């Protein structure tokens, strides 16, 4: 297999790659920044295998340049950044890493729920800025409870199910919405028009596809409780960000906690970054050592299977 060439658009620790560098002519983009498109267009020309991730747009142009490509392995659970139809038409296999990051992402969803409703980040920021003046007060930094409240999960795939299991541990009333009801899930299926006005927390755990793109707009947010929180651990483009900003400014919902954004990265000048009732994390849903290592193992194995 040494005669075969593999191009990786990002750097992984050597010990996570297993035997891959010894079994193929292995070329990787070594910077922490996303690989430039010009670099990818050049390097993919003689590649048999491509190891990519969500920041790489693998479209018709890339596939035309990839004269020898036989397999694309993406280091992600989503594959909306790959033109799968165009790859299939060329006989190129596509692999991804489902299920591996389920628990890590569900954990983060709950961390975000707790952080935004109990004002954890706001309290931390208050102390670090020297603004904590009163040792204790009956009405100081009041937040909202999570235990016993109603959660509305939109998307009942692997991650949605894992979030529901955690919600059960908090004695929450669990509502969910998905393309089809899931009889095996211990939760109540509800249309969006019923789920949104009943939920104290609305958690997005959907794939990005034509039906979910910008599904969370101003009308969606107006159907939520004014005391409710929106949590997104799916894809940034599920939300119309300008509508979310407007809803937060107008008090249409109580707050939001987001791990993903329409355009990434965002900076300190972003309107969401200036709001106290918003918790932001930099797309770290799967960012645990254990999960990222396992994702690498699956992505490498997908690549090697495709080459074989």
Kindly list the catalytic residues.
Answer: 235, 264, 283
Q: What is the C-alpha to C-alpha distance for residues 276 and 42, in angstroms, rounded to an integer?
A: 45
Which residue, chain included where needed, has tokens 């035309």?
A: 64
Q: Are 27 and 5 in contact (CB under 8 A)?
A: yes
The one-character DSSP state at 44 is G
The helix (run of H) or strand (run of E) holding residue 169 is helix 158-169
Q: Strand 173-177's sheet: what is its strand order?
A: 188-189, 173-177, 150-154, 201-204, 229-232, 255-258, 278-280
**Around Cβ 178, how many Cβ atoms within 10 Å?**
16
DSSP three-state, residue 137: coil
Residue 76 token pair = 């992600």
**Around Cβ 39, how many Cβ atoms within 10 Å?**
15
The helix (run of H) or strand (run of E) holding residue 248 is helix 241-249
Task: Name the phi and psi angles at 5, rounded to 5.
Answer: -115, 135
| Burial class (CB within 10 angstroms; exposed 0-12, middle 13-18, buried 19+) of 169 | exposed
Q: What is the C-alpha to C-alpha distance for residues 166 and 153, in angstroms, rounded to an integer?
A: 12
**Around Cβ 135, how many Cβ atoms within 10 Å?**
6
Task: Name the phi and psi angles at 172, rounded to 5.
Answer: -90, 150
């Amino acid at each position: 297999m040494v005669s075969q060439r593999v191009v990786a658009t990002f750097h992984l620790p050597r010990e996570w790659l297993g035997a891959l560098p010894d079994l193929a002519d292995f070329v990787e983009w070594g910077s922490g920044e996303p690989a430039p498109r010009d670099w990818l267009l050049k390097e993919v020309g003689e590649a048999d295998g491509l190891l990519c991730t969500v920041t790489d747009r693998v479209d018709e142009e890339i596939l035309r340049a990839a004269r020898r490509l036989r397999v694309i392995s993406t280091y992600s659970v989503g594959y909306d950044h790959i033109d799968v139809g165009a790859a299939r038409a060329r006989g190129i296999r596509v692999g991804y890493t489902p299920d591996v990051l389920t628990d890590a992402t569900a954990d983060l969803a709950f961390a975000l729920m707790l952080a935004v409703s109990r004002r954890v980040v706001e309290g931390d920021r208050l102390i670090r800025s020297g603004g904590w003046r009163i040792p204790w007060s009956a009405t100081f930094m009041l937040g909202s409870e999570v235990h016993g409240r109603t959660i509305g999960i939109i998307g009942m795939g692997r991650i949605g199910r894992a979030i529901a299991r955690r919600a059960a541990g908090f004695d929450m009333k669990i509502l969910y919405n998905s393309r089809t009801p899931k009889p095996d899930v211990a939760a109540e299926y509800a249309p969006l028009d019923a789920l949104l006005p009943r939920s104290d927390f609305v958690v997005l755990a959907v794939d990005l596809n034509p039906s979910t793109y910008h599904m969370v707009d101003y009308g969606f947010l107006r159907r939520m409780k004014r005391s409710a929180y929106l949590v997104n651990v799916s894809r940034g483009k599920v939300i119309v960000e300008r509508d979310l900003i407007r809803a937060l400014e107008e008090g249409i919902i109580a707050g939001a906690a987001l791990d993903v954004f329409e355009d990434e990265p965002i900076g300190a000048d972003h309107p969401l970054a200036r709001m106290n009732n918003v918790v932001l994390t930099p797309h770290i849903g799967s960012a645990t050592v254990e999960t990222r290592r396992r994702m690498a193992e699956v992505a490498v194995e997908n690549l090697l299977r495709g080459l074989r």
